[in-house]
A and B are shown apart, each in its own frame.
Chain A
Amino acid sequence: MLKPLLEIRLKQILRAQKGLHWYHYIIFGGLLLYLVIWLYNLLLQRNSAIVVAATSLLPILALQMHRNDKRFVSHLSHFPYLIFWVEYTLLLSPLLLLYTFTASWFLICPVILALLPISNFGLELPKPRKAIPLVFIADACFEWKAGVRKNKWLLCILYVAAFALCLYPFGSLLILWFSTAIISTFYQRCEPVNLLTVPEKGAKAFLYYKLKANLKQFMVLTLPLLLLYSLLHPDHMVPALVFYPLLLLVLVSSILAKYAYYEPNNTVSSAASFLNSIDILSPLLPFLLLFPLISSIRNYKKAVHRLNLYLHDFN
């Protein structure tokens, strides 16, 4: 059973690459090399190696909590958690391989063992019926309502941690970036056409309305944090004020990417999501700074063209 499932995963990965051009591979190759070198240097220090090992388990836990094929896999196998465990071990294998070249190689074993309980976690999670009311989110920002509900615990922890870490330099900014990365995933699902036509606006006006509502929502929730950070670290005010617009730009590029590749009731293509991940990384990697700006301009043109199919009557 494991072999056909892994073959399906491989096909999914290959399918996800469709739509990428050669220059995307060069960018990703460069990015990957940079990350590997950075990570390797980090793993050379014992404490950092332990933190990285523990942190690497968090996305796996999030993946296990949210994957919707758990029931399907449990129908196929009597030991579904073993299938998940193999998948997660394979997913972490590049990182585990890096550990073998460091003095912290002994962490490989605990990481693999820790994947066992994670793989068994929440196999029969009941689907919630009642929803928590989110009064602090505007009615028009339905992506936020859905996204916050999906990631409620993670976002809650991050939000509290961001305020708590305001005392330390750059801690809050890093969490703000990570939260923005999560928020940008809110725009991966396309709404049905009847929601698209609700504002009764042409393509350009619709994009302006959408960007305005969503950026406002982001600013309402994050500006207090930025203000507090700037007050506690006045010497960091300038870097913080440079960093914040970059986060806004990441959000803009995520929203525009959704409408550039808009398909009613579908998720945005994997290739588009892949490209969006470069935008998300850009505030941390100076050589990628221009990337979200370029992709926003490109995606804006594409989005206007794409939305005209559905909204031309409102022009």
Chain B
Amino acid sequence: MISIKNLNVEQKGKVILQHLTGQFEQGQVHGIVGLNGAGKTTFLNSLYGFIKPTAGEITYQEKKLSKKYISYLETSNYFYAGITGGEYLKLFCKATEKHKEWNKLFLLPLNNLIESYSTGMKKKLALMGVLLQNKPILLLDEPFNGLDLESMWVVKRIISDIKHTKTILLTSHILETLTDNCDFIHRLEHKKINQVYAKEDFKQFQELLYQELHEKTALQ
């Protein structure tokens, strides 16, 4: 279980997260939802260690959370130019051919240079890299961005297959992808996790959220 106590994060003197507390159980998929600028990516970056929190404690199985346990799929995927998809994935396989098994699902042209890939193909490649690391924690920032319907279905199936042994945190702008895939949805608002919704409350959460958005846009 990932446990977070009173996490404070600042960037360029601006407070992004304040007194954020939360628990993320193993074997479950946790969705992080929040409006643009709510701090979803900052939150994931803090978990991964890209950003050093100004205060607070993040632990995993009662030990300090470390990169050793985490695979992180960032929103924007960067690749090293001039190498093929297969060569990229081989770096994560440690001399095995495991990437070829995963590619039976994703059907990427692994002998082609990565720069010739489309946005969706790059996303799939990055996701395969994350899966091949086989770490107990997966941080997936917008994993469904740029994916076609078939790939979304494949990713959904993979998440549901591997979730029993892992702790998965994912963000998405599309609420349906969260309600379809997650066991819990954590609402990031006012610099902290304001509410946690279990699967049975998703419908109620969705209605509440749409109501709030309706009121907000009506005021404007």
Q: Which positions in A face B, CB cutoff 8 Å?
A: 127-131, 133, 139-140, 142-143, 145-147, 149-150, 189, 191-195, 197-198, 200, 264-265, 311, 313-314
Contact = CB atoms under 8 A, between A and B. Distances in A.
A150 B82 contact: yes
Contacts of A195: 80, 91
B189 interface: no
B80 A127 contact: no
B81 A189 contact: yes
B109 to A, nearest CB: 8
Given A192-B78, A192-B79, A313-B67, A131 B111 contact: yes
11 contacts: A127-B115, A127-B116, A139-B90, A142-B80, A142-B87, A145-B82, A149-B82, A150-B82, A198-B92, A311-B67, A313-B49
Contacts of B43: none
Contacts of A189: 80-81
Contact of B111 (A133, A149, A150, A311): A133
Contacts of A142: 80, 83, 87-88, 91
Contacts of A128: 113, 116
Contacts of B115: 127
B202 interface: no
Closest 6 CB pairs of A and B: A146-B82, A313-B66, A313-B67, A265-B78, A129-B116, A192-B78
B93 to A, nearest CB: 9
A130 B83 CA distance: 10
Given A146-B83, A149-B82, 18 more contacts: A128-B116, A130-B112, A131-B83, A131-B111, A131-B113, A139-B87, A142-B80, A142-B91, A143-B80, A145-B83, A149-B113, A189-B80, A189-B81, A192-B79, A194-B129, A194-B130, A198-B133, A314-B67
- Most chain B CB within 10 A, of A139, A191, A194, is at A194
A314 B68 CA distance: 7
B171 interface: no
Contacts of B129: 194
Interface residues on B, range: 20 to 34
A198 B82 contact: no
A192 B68 contact: no
B68 A131 contact: no
Given A139-B91, A197-B67, A129 B113 contact: yes
A147 B82 contact: yes
- Most chain A CB within 10 A, of B78, B88, B90, is at B78
B84 interface: yes
Contacts of B72: 194
Interface in B99-116: 109, 111-113, 115-116
A165 B79 CA distance: 38
B95 interface: yes
Given A130-B111, A139-B95, A313 B68 contact: yes
Contacts of A194: 72, 129-130
Contacts of A146: 80-83
A79 B92 CA distance: 46
Contacts of A265: 78
Contacts of A140: 91
A189 B115 CA distance: 15
Contacts of A149: 82, 113
A200 B68 contact: yes
B200 to A, nearest CB: 36
Interface string B96-140: 000000000000010111011000000000000110010000000
Contacts of A200: 68
Contacts of B90: 139
Nearest to A150: B82
Interface in B36-76: 49-50, 66-68, 72
Contacts of A129: 109, 112-113, 116
Contacts of B66: 313
B164 to A, nearest CB: 24
A197 B70 CA distance: 10
